[in-house]
Amino acid sequence: MTNAQTPQTKSRCCLHCGRRPRGRTAVPDYAIALSRPELDALLRDVIPLLRRQASRLLGEDADDAVQTACLKLLKASDAWLAHPNPTAYAMRAVTTAAYDLKRRQSQDMPVDEVPDRPQAGDPLALREARWEVARLLAEVPRKQAAAIFLVDVQDYTIDDAAAVLGVHRGTVSRARQHGLRAMRKKALCGGVRRVC
């Protein structure tokens, strides 16, 4: 095999005609050998574009998405620099980070500080809380209700509840999580049958 036929040489240029290949095999000239300071300088040049894109998607939380995208770009610097259009690659990284952040924020549900149990001197509040728990437990599937009842009402551990129900601890944890989410949604709707 001659020097002209080595795979490394063929992926960077075509020695027969002198042209650079097109598409994914093309490696930008600056990506062949960048040192860490040069990579940092390239990232600094791209950050204003990333911040602008993230601001369009997130508003004031844009810096979090930019930071996440920059970390991903530094970790995958070989793929980033080998891409035919590194700026587009970086923009896609910040867009993905922004969507991930937005999705996580939509799953977070702010709740006021709620005491775990009603005050000891208020029997009416205790009775109302029991009725509300019973009503909400009746509206979720039986397995989810059993997991919630054992863990949250009877103060069993996940492992003990799994032993009582005869299932794996992951099944109890997952059923409890889904049931609590459904109960929160129904509690926020006030028991009215409507889309919340």
80 SS3 class: helix
Per-residue pLDDT reduced to its tens digit, 139-166: 899 999 999 989 988 889 999 999 988 9
- Note whether 141 and 107 are within 8 A (CB): no
Sign, CA dihedral 143-153-113-123, equals: positive
pLDDT at 7 over 90: no
Higher pLDDT, 166 or 117: 166
Its pTM surpasses 0.85: no
**Segment 163-173 mean pLDDT:** 92
Per-residue pLDDT reduced to its tens digit, 74-97: 888 888 888 888 888 999 999 999
Q: Which of 8-17, 164-173, 179-188 has the highest mean pLDDT?
A: 164-173
Alpha carbon distances (Å) from 9 to 21, 149, 153: 11, 67, 68
Helices (H), 83-122: 86-107
Q: What is the DSSP string of 13-52?
A: --TTT-PPPPGGG---GGGSS--HHHHHHHHHHHHHHHHH
Round to whole Å and give the CA distance between 121 and 113. 20
Given this model, what pLDDT does residue 111 score? 63
**Segment 101-130 mean pLDDT:** 72
Per-residue pLDDT reduced to its tens digit, 47-72: 898 989 888 888 888 888 999 998 88
Closest by CA position to 112, among listed 187, 191, 176: 187
CB atoms within 10 A of CB 118: 15
Q: What is the DSSP string of 136-177?
A: HHHTS-HHHHHHHIIIIIS---HHHHHHHHTS-HHHHHHHHH
Given this model, what pLDDT does residue 27 score? 42
Higher pLDDT, 177 or 2: 177
Provide the percentage of residues in the chain whose pLDDT is more than 70.
71
